[in-house]
């Protein structure tokens, strides 16, 4: 407890500095409302239900897009590592599209699927798929040949071998790729909602900002930032659990 307090004391100092600076009007309190005001705005949003009402579609879009990306990305990555023709066809495409800024696809997904959930899910799926693919590809490629040979020798079918040998040994890199995808999912969720949406947390931020209720806007901004942070920490916890079977030192 005490160690945590010392470790996170700089954040506390920053928070106090923030409060003092805006309390004494060193900067305009519209540009930087005091933390206390932001806190009460946050409680107002919570009691009126605005926050929950907008968080639900956002999290649904993020979750659905990410799940699709994990499913397809893993399958594609492993296929690329194990079947040469797949790699020959898909490899250059993955390489060409990986550096492309995915937020550029926002208008296209809107043209295809409209303003609702569909376009956001498609965007998040497209944006998150490639990091997962590359993680799965690198992981599956580094599978020890001896393990593969042993499994084949003991009569495992190709599919069985994929499931029991290749996938587990690809897991560390795959899970890292998914972590990148998780962060990207939040970024794409917020950006797409800020630019075109009728509901969702990003849309709420834009709406509050346009109305000049800056304390409430800050409250939602900080909520989204915290959600992203919390999702990453929870994921890391699961990642450690899932990799607990690995011999230490190998990871």
Partner 1 sequence: MSALVNAGELSPAARLLRAAGRTAAHLGSIAALLVAWEVFARSGAVTMFMLPPFSAVAERIWADAVDGNLWLNIGLTLYRTIVGFLLASVIGIGLGIAMARTRLARWFFDPIISIGFPMPKVVFLPVVILWLGVFDVSKITMVTIEAVFPVVTATVLGIQGVDHELLWSARNMGAKDRELLWQVLLPAALPQIMTGIQVALPIALVVAVFTEMAMGGFGLGGVMMQSSRFADSRGVFAGIVEIAVVGYCVVKGLAILRWRLLLWHQEAMAPSTV
Q: How far is the CB of 12 from partner 1 (least distance, A)?
A: 9
Q: How far is the CB of 19 from partner 1 (least distance, A)?
A: 17
Closer of 6 and 154 to partner 1 (Cβ): 6
Q: Does 96 bind partner 1 (CB under 8 A)?
A: yes
Instruction: Report how far apart, in Å, the C-alpha atoms of 124 and of each of 10, 119, 173, 211 are.
Output: 34, 9, 21, 28
Radius of gyration of the chain (CA): 22
- Lookup result for tokens 């009460």: 40
* Structure tokens given for 64: 């659905």
Q: Can you tell me the distance from the alpha carbon of 66 to that of 181, in angstroms, rounded to the nearest whole number?
A: 7
- Lookup result for tokens 């407890």: 1
Q: Does 55 bind partner 1 (CB under 8 A)?
A: no
Closer of 17 and 163 to partner 1 (Cβ): 17
Q: Does 25 bind partner 1 (CB under 8 A)?
A: no
Q: Can you tell me the distance from the alpha carbon of 47 to that of 41, in angstroms, rounded to the nearest whole number?
A: 10
Part of the chain binding partner 1 (CB under 8 A), chosen from 64-72, 144-152, 165-173, 216-224: 216-224
Part of the chain binding partner 1 (CB under 8 A), chosen from 36-44, 152-160, 214-222, 240-248: 214-222
Closer of 91 and 160 to partner 1 (Cβ): 91
Q: Does 232 bind partner 1 (CB under 8 A)?
A: yes
Q: Tell me which of 92, 150, 163, 164 binds partner 1, using CB under 8 A.
A: 92
Report the Cα 105 to chain-centroid distance in Å.
17
Q: Can you tell me the distance from the alpha carbon of 106 to that of 196, in angstroms, rounded to the nearest whole number?
A: 8
CB 181 within 8 A of CB 66: yes
Closer of 10 and 155 to partner 1 (Cβ): 10
Closer of 79 and 205 to partner 1 (Cβ): 205
* Structure tokens given for 108: 């296209």
Segment 122-181, which members bind partner 1 (CB under 8 A)? 134, 137-138
Q: Does 110 bind partner 1 (CB under 8 A)?
A: yes
Q: Which positions ≥6 away from 232 have C-beta within 8 Å?
A: 179, 182, 183
Q: How far apart are the first and last CA of the chain?
A: 29
Residues that bind partner 1 (CB under 8 A): 7-8, 10-11, 14, 30-31, 88-93, 95-108, 110-112, 134, 137-138, 183, 186-187, 189-191, 194-195, 202, 205-206, 209, 214, 217-218, 221, 224-226, 228-229, 231-233
């Amino acid at each position: 407890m005490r160690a945590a307090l010392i470790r996170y004391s700089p954040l506390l100092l920053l928070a106090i500095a923030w409060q003092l600076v805006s309390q004494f009007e060193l900067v305009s309190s519209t540009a930087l409302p005091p933390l206390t005001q932001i806190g009460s705005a946050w409680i107002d949003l919570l009691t009126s239900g605005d926050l929950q009402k907008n968080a639900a579609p956002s999290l649904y879009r993020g979750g659905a897009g990410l799940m699709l990306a994990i499913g397809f990305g893993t399958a594609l990555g492993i296929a690329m590592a194990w079947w040469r023709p797949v790699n020959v066809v898909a490899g250059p495409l993955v390489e060409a599209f990986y550096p492309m800024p995915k937020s550029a696809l926002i208008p296209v997904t809107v043209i295809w699927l409209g303003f609702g959930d569909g376009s956001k899910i498609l965007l998040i799926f497209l944006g998150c798929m490639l990091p997962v693919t590359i993680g799965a590809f690198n992981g599956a490629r580094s599978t020890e040949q001896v393990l593969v040979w042993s499994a084949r020798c003991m009569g495992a079918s190709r599919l069985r071998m994929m499931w029991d040998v290749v996938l587990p040994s690809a897991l560390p890199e795959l899970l890292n790729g998914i972590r990148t995808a998780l962060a990207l999912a939040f970024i794409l969720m917020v950006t797409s909602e800020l630019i075109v949406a009728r509901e969702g947390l990003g849309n709420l931020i834009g709406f509050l900002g346009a109305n000049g209720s800056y304390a409430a806007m800050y409250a939602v901004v900080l909520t989204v930032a915290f959600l992203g942070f919390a999702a990453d920490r929870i994921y890391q916890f699961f990642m450690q659990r899932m990799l607990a079977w690995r011999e230490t030192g190998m990871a």
